[in-house]
Chain A
Amino acid sequence: MLATRVFRLVGNRALSTSICLRGGHGVAKVEDYTLPAYFDRRESPLPDIKFVQQLSPEQKSLKEKEKGSWAALSKEEKIALYRISFKESFAEMNKGTGEWKSVVAGIFFFIGFTGLVVLWQRKYVYGDVPHTFDPEYKQKEVQRMLDMRINPVEGFSAKWDYENNAWKK
């Protein structure tokens, strides 16, 4: 008997909190989340309950009219009946949010911020580069590579003209 009482309340969210303790044990309070819920989801198009639970008097009379021939319903009435059963149409629930713009903006912002951090680091954190980066030292390195004939076929030394001691034009 208690079970049928609960079943009668399925789909009627307004009464979900009205059950209270009775006598020694009573009926457990039926939580909202345990009842069937309404949701707009593309993959399951027909939710467990209608969207509007408490119908206004016009909506009630519309529901009565729905029991007759549907050809007699006007366009606005059909739309009103749809909105009783569903919250958002498929077009409304599927439309994009434009969230990607915020995401891209955040990406650019933090990349820029990282650039500032890197600049600060180069100035205040890093020490001098080794002496091997001096131009004179680099020149001696290049000369030694040419002397050793590094990649003489297609690479480094291939671009040096050994007869005229200059880079090939």
Chain B
Amino acid sequence: MSLPKPAMRGLLAKRLRFHLPIAFGLSLIAAAAFKFTVTEPRKQAYADFYKHYDSTKEFNAMREAGVFESVRPTGK
């Protein structure tokens, strides 16, 4: 009956030494994945949309469709 004495101290420290690097790594990976799958495409989509955006043309198109209350469609 001579079992080795079990670890009595430093149990939390041992667990943290193992799990904290993994936690940090996974968090960084999650953040990087989100950045490159969501935010970068979104920024690009907005840049592309406004590169050739003619606001006057869009306004007139919306006016003719009749969605505004301040200006009626032309020809009324």
Contact = CB atoms under 8 A, between A and B. Distances in A.
Interface string A136-168: 000000001001110011100010001000000
A153 B45 contact: yes
Nearest to B63: A147
Interface string B39-67: 00010011001000000001001100111
A152 B49 contact: yes
Interface of A is mostly: loop
Contacts of B58: 149
Nearest to B46: A153
Interface in A35-55: none
Which of B42, B45, B46, B65 has the most chain A CB within a 10 Å cutoff? Answer: B65
A77 to B, nearest CB: 23
Interface residues of A, number: 9
B46 A147 contact: no
A149 B49 CA distance: 13
Contact of B45 (A147, A154, A162): A154
Interface of B is mostly: helix
Contacts of A152: 49
A147 B62 contact: yes
B42 A147 contact: no
Given A144-B67, A147-B67, A148-B67, A153 B49 contact: yes
A149 B62 contact: yes
A147 B62 CA distance: 6
Contacts of B49: 152-153, 158
A162 B58 CA distance: 11
Interface string B62-74: 1001110000000
Top 10 A-B pairs, shortest CB-CB distance: A147-B65, A153-B49, A147-B67, A148-B67, A154-B45, A153-B46, A153-B45, A147-B62, A149-B62, A154-B42
7 contacts: A147-B62, A147-B65, A148-B62, A148-B67, A153-B46, A154-B45, A162-B61
